[in-house]
Structure 1
Amino acid sequence: MMPSPQLEDLSDPGFDPFVIEKLSTGDCHDPYPQIHALMQRGSVVEGSYRSQFTSVPDVQMGHLPQVMVLGYDAVLHVLTHPEIFTNKEAFSPNLGRAFGNTVTVMDAPEHPRYRKIFQKAFLPQVVSKWGETVVDPVVDRLMAKFLPHGRADLIEDFTHHYPFQVIYAQVDLDPAQAPVFHKLAIAQLLSSIGAPQGQEASKKLGDFFGALVEQKRAKPGTDLISHLATVEVDGERLPDDVLISFLRQLMNAGGDTTYRGTSVLLTGLLTHPEQLKAVAEDRSLIPQAIDEALRWEGPVASTFRYASVDTEIAGVPIKKGTFVNTVLASANRDPSKFPQPDSFDIFRSRTPRHLAFASGPHLCIGQHLARVEMTRALSALLDRLVNLRLDPDKPAPRVTGHILRAPEHLWVRFDS
């Protein structure tokens, strides 16, 4: 194996960008009463979703005209009409500055052209191979640290590290470089508010990934970057700027959301021990348990679109230039689609499907990899942590955040 390129730390190595990560999640314990109250007012409510839960000014979007779109049908309408509700204008001021020319910031015809190349590298038959070669070794390494003790905090000891270490393995990252890699990935987000560390981090990650892509093209393996660097559709490969922008975003879009999804899955099952027991005894229930966790507490509660023309949603006029807060959490807790929507129930009907991965042309590219990671993590925990249960001497888990949702702790006991 060739050594990976070396990362360069920020010029001020003591600078801590992780405060932005904490601020972006919010500390709201339960946003759903407010979401349900908003839904009672209609499918379209003027204002921003973020302002419902925090008084901290939004320096990126606070001065722009915004509406919230609520409920399953209205949210699905926005997500599946990209010719009206676009991504480029919605995300250029934030994600575009942080990551560059990533597919999230693209519209047609550019978006479908490059997405079909990415999709080929993320087909289920491709990502399933990474389960044993990439995912399982990470699971084994993390679990070895707490298996002998009979107790653990599954967030601090497992899920908060698990998907990020999968990414490190995918890029053949020297473990010693992991802290700098994570710091730079988070620091990129500061570009959207004009902080110089944001652009510095983006450039340094870009240099690192540029060298890594060149290396993988010269001698490809079976890892994710080798696939992305060499895959072709109709004789076309991904341009370097598109591929490098995607890799810059991978830590946030892939690692963070999978950490949150896995954490919520474990929380839902552990707080409903009868359902945990059912899954432990019948592993064919794991896919529906994952889907219910994603519906119940999707990792991302709200996303943006931009009204590119004068239009309407559910009969409500929407002016061109309006930023549309597309509240995914309201779709997944819509009582007209999901009876008793606030309950975690892996046995509920799967119709309609949840929108945690969005829908339409921007449906999450990495959803198959996320399912592989969540499946293998849950299977390993059920196999090795005998009599897994919440720790009665510790506080019960609480999922927090108004935009990005996850529990801070998940204390458990098991028979070691």
Structure 2
Amino acid sequence: MSTAIRIQDFDDRTYDPFLSHEDNFGTDADPYPRIHELRAQGAVIPGSFREQMGYPCYYGDAPRFTIVGTKEIEEVLVDASRFSNSGYEMNLGHTFGMGSISVMDNPVHGRWRRIFQKIFLPQHVKTWGETIVDPVVHGLMSKFLPRGEADLVDEFTHSYPFEVIYKQLDLPRSDVETFQRLAIGQTDFEHMSQAIEAGIKLGEYFKALIDERRANHGDDLISLLAMTEVDGDYLPELVLVSFLRQLMNAAGDTTYRGTSILLTALLRNPDQYEAIRKDRNLIPAAIEEALRWDGPVLAQTRVAATDVELGGIKIPKGAFLDVLAGAANRDPAIYPDPDRFDILREKRAHYSFARGPHICVGQHLARVEMTRALHAVMDNLNNLRLDPDKPAPAIRGYMMRVPEHIYVKFDKVAVDG
């Protein structure tokens, strides 16, 4: 397939967006003790979460608060009339674009979200499992099955959800490497010039693809969105391009993190992995527990749309609020022994996909991808265990969480071809 333009890489070819994780999200092995300390101080704590974790704040001179009480977290996420998503304008708005549904508030947000949400309904997403997800999984695994050892992050989970998106978008294979560099670079807010450059170049690329798919559309996701009409007109370019820019991070980066954390938790608890291997009906519970226990995104940002009182604290209009889903997910009043990973614990809804009008559009796809990945691991990696001769997986990051490596051993498998 050819496009109207070739995708353009960063001007500085030495820039590596994959090294940006530590700069943006820290190296903290376990932020939860600090989160428990904050909860003991009150439901609403003055100062940003970055400041609480010892990092500089980027909210300027605006008042800021960290929300750790579960009741207050629920209130902020659900009540969009008092708590705005406009706080993302200062970062995501510059890179994904001001047409991103993540920076919008109602009624505009609801109008566009409903359109995108239909595409990611469970009945549609499930069909992608066999046609798109499974071939990607098996293609990646075939490269390391004969060795009997692997780094599941480097060789599997880091590539897996991104490869799924490439298939959904029907991208030319020659563009994939540069596309992923730009997509990851969009959220490198410690290097804002490169983040903005990435957004601009992805925007130019998507505009060319949209024009091409409208002229010769197929069954890929870009064609589907490019041909979608609202009130007799195509989706506005600003909204459509912003959504496509965001897709790599919303559906790729967080799924890579969630899948990596799931595998880490199970391999650290081999008795629970064995229970699932014997009864795969436990897979949904394992996924939800992994998302609760150490979700890939610990906090969301909101801005007070008016003067409010929350948790007994007066919050002025315009204040930035770091809403800690990670605090609600480990609230001992809701989850007994919350720091323990336990796939058999009583089922309760977690906060890792947020709540309210901005609940994650791609949550169903994330669950399908995590489910398919776990099935593939159990189907193909017999006698799977952590490699005792290499470092154990260590989940890191105070805001976005992921292990850098998961070194494993398993029985070698011959692969045809």
Question: What TM-score does the superposition give when structure 2 sets the normalisation length?
Answer: 0.94
Q: Tell me, yes or no, if structure 1 residue 391 matches structure 2 residue 375.
A: no
What is the alpha-carbon distance in structure 2 between the residues aligned to residue 155 and residue 267 of structure 1?
Answer: 10
Q: Match for residue 415 of structure 2?
A: none
Q: How does 1:33-48 map to 2 (within 5 A)?
A: 33-48=33-48
Deviates more, 1:355-364 or 1:277-286: 277-286
**Paired residue type of 1:322:** A
Please give the alpha-carbon distance, in whole angstroms, between the structure 2 residues aligned to 1:240 and 1:402.
35
Equivalence map 1:326-337=2 (5 Å): 326-337=323-334
- Amino acid of the structure 1 residue aligned with 2:268: T
What is the aligned partner in structure 2 of residue 122 from structure 1? 120
In 2: Cα distance, 1:63 partner to 1:266 partner? 41
CA distance in 1 between counterparts of 2:164 and 2:282 reads 24
Counterpart code for 1:123? L
Aligned ranges 1:285-304 → 2 under 5 Å? 285-304=282-301
- TM-aligned CA distance change 1:292 to 1:184, over 3 Å: same
- Give 1:234 shift: 6.5
Aligned AA for 1:331?
Answer: A
Which residue number in structure 2 is paired with residue 260 of structure 1?
A: 257
Distance 1:23 1:72 in 2: 29
2:207 aligns with 210
Shift of 1:5: 5.1
CA contact (8 A) 1:72 1:337 kept: no
TM-score between the two structures when normalised by the length of structure 1: 0.94
Residue of structure 1 equivalent to 2:347: 350
The question of whether the paired residues in 2 share the 8 Å contact of 1:131 and 1:372 is answered with yes
- The alpha-carbon deviation at position 302 of structure 1 amounts to 1.0
Separation of aligned partners in 2, 1:4 and 1:31: 46
Query: What whole-Å deviation, never above 9, does each CA across 1:212-256 have from its counterpart, x for those lacking one?
Result: 122233333333223322345675653121010111111222211
Match in the other structure for 2:320:
323
Q: Is the 8 A contact 2:3 2:209 kept in 1?
A: no
User: SS in structure 1 opposite 2:61?
Assistant: coil
Contact 1:121/1:231 (8 A) holds in 2: no
Please tell me whether residue 82 in structure 1 is matched to residue 80 in structure 2: yes
Measure how far apart 1:176 and its partner are.
Answer: 2.8
**Distance (Å, rounded) in 2 between the aligned partners of 1:269 and 1:308:** 42
**1 CA distance for matches of 2:370 and 2:191?**
35
Q: Find the aligned partners of 2:166 and 2:266 in 1 and give their Cα distance.
A: 28
CA distance in 2 between partners of 1:410 and 1:194 (Å)? 28
Once residues 172 and 391 of structure 2 are traced to their aligned partners in structure 1, the CA distance between those partners, rounded to angstroms, is 36
Residue 180 (structure 1) aligns with: 178
The question of whether the paired residues in 2 share the 8 Å contact of 1:4 and 1:173 is answered with no
What is the SS of the residue equivalent to 2:383?
A: strand
Unmatched runs of 5 consecutive residues or more in structure 1: none
User: Counterpart of 1:269 in 2: which secondary structure?
Assistant: helix
* Residue 308 of structure 1, CA deviation: 0.8
Secondary structure of the 1:166 match is helix
Q: What residue number does 2:155 align with?
A: 157
Q: 1:396/1:15 Cα in 2 relative to 1: closer, same or farther (>3 Å)?
A: closer
Q: CA deviation at 1:277?
A: 1.0
Q: Partner residue of 1:49?
A: 49
Q: For residues 394 and 303 of structure 2, what CA distance do their matches in structure 1 show?
A: 33
- 1:260–1:4: structure 2 CA closer, same or farther, 3 Å change rule? farther
Most deviating of 98-107 and 209-218:
209-218
* Mean CA deviation greater in 317-326 or 17-26: 17-26
Alpha-carbon displacement from aligned partner over 1:325-362 (angstroms, at most 9, x marks no partner): 101100000000111100101111112x0010000000
Give the equivalent residue in structure 1 for 2:111.
113
Q: Which structure 1 residue ranges, 4+ long, deviate > 6 Å from structure 2?
A: none
> Contact 1:75–1:326 (CA<8 Å) still a contact in 2?
yes
SS of alignment partner, residue 387 of structure 1:
coil
Aligned to 1:145: 143
Partner-residue secondary structure (3-state), 2:187: helix
Q: Is 2:218 the partner of 1:221?
A: yes
Q: Does 1:135 align with 2:140?
A: no
Q: Structure 2: which amino acid aligns with 1:291?
A: E
Distance in 1 between residues matched to 2:316 and 2:198, nearest whole Å: 36
Greater CA drift, 261-270 or 196-205:
196-205
Q: Which amino acid aligns with 1:145?
A: K
In the alignment, the residues of structure 2 paired with residue 341 and residue 195 of structure 1 have an alpha-carbon distance, to the nearest angstrom, of 36
Of residues 68, 71, 94, the one that matches 1:70 is 68
Query: How far is 1:3 from its partner?
Result: 5.8
2:276 is the counterpart of 1:251: no
Residue aligned with 2:91, SS? helix
Q: How many residues align?
A: 411
Could you list the per-position Cα deviations for residues 175-213 of structure 1 after superposition, in whole angstroms to 9, with x for gaps in the alignment?
Answer: 3322211222233335x5684433332221111111212
Residue 374 (structure 1) aligned to one of 370, 374, 380: 370
Shift of 1:25: 2.0
Superposed CA offset, 1:48-80 (max 9, x none)? 11122234x33x325321100003221111100
Structure 2 distance, partners of 1:357, 1:237, is 29
Cα distance in structure 2, aligned partners of 1:334 and 1:271: 22
Letter in 2 for 1:73: K
Deviation per CA, 1:124-151: give whole Å up to 9, x if none. 1111111112111111111011101111
C-alpha RMSD over aligned residues: 1.8
**Structure 2: 5+ residue runs without aligned partners?**
413-417
1:28 corresponding residue in structure 2:
28
Q: Structure 1: which amino acid aligns with 2:54? A: T
Q: 1:80-116: CA deviations, max 9, x gaps?
A: 000000002x111111011102000000110000000
In 2, distance between residues paired with 1:308 and 1:141? 48
Point out the more displaced range, 167-176 or 114-123: 167-176
Aligned in 2, Cα 1:412/1:195: closer, same or farther, shift over 3 Å? closer
Tell me whether 1:279 sits opposite 2:279 in the alignment: no
Change (3 A) 1:231 1:39: same
Does structure 2 retain, via aligned residues, the 8 Å contact 1:303–1:328? yes
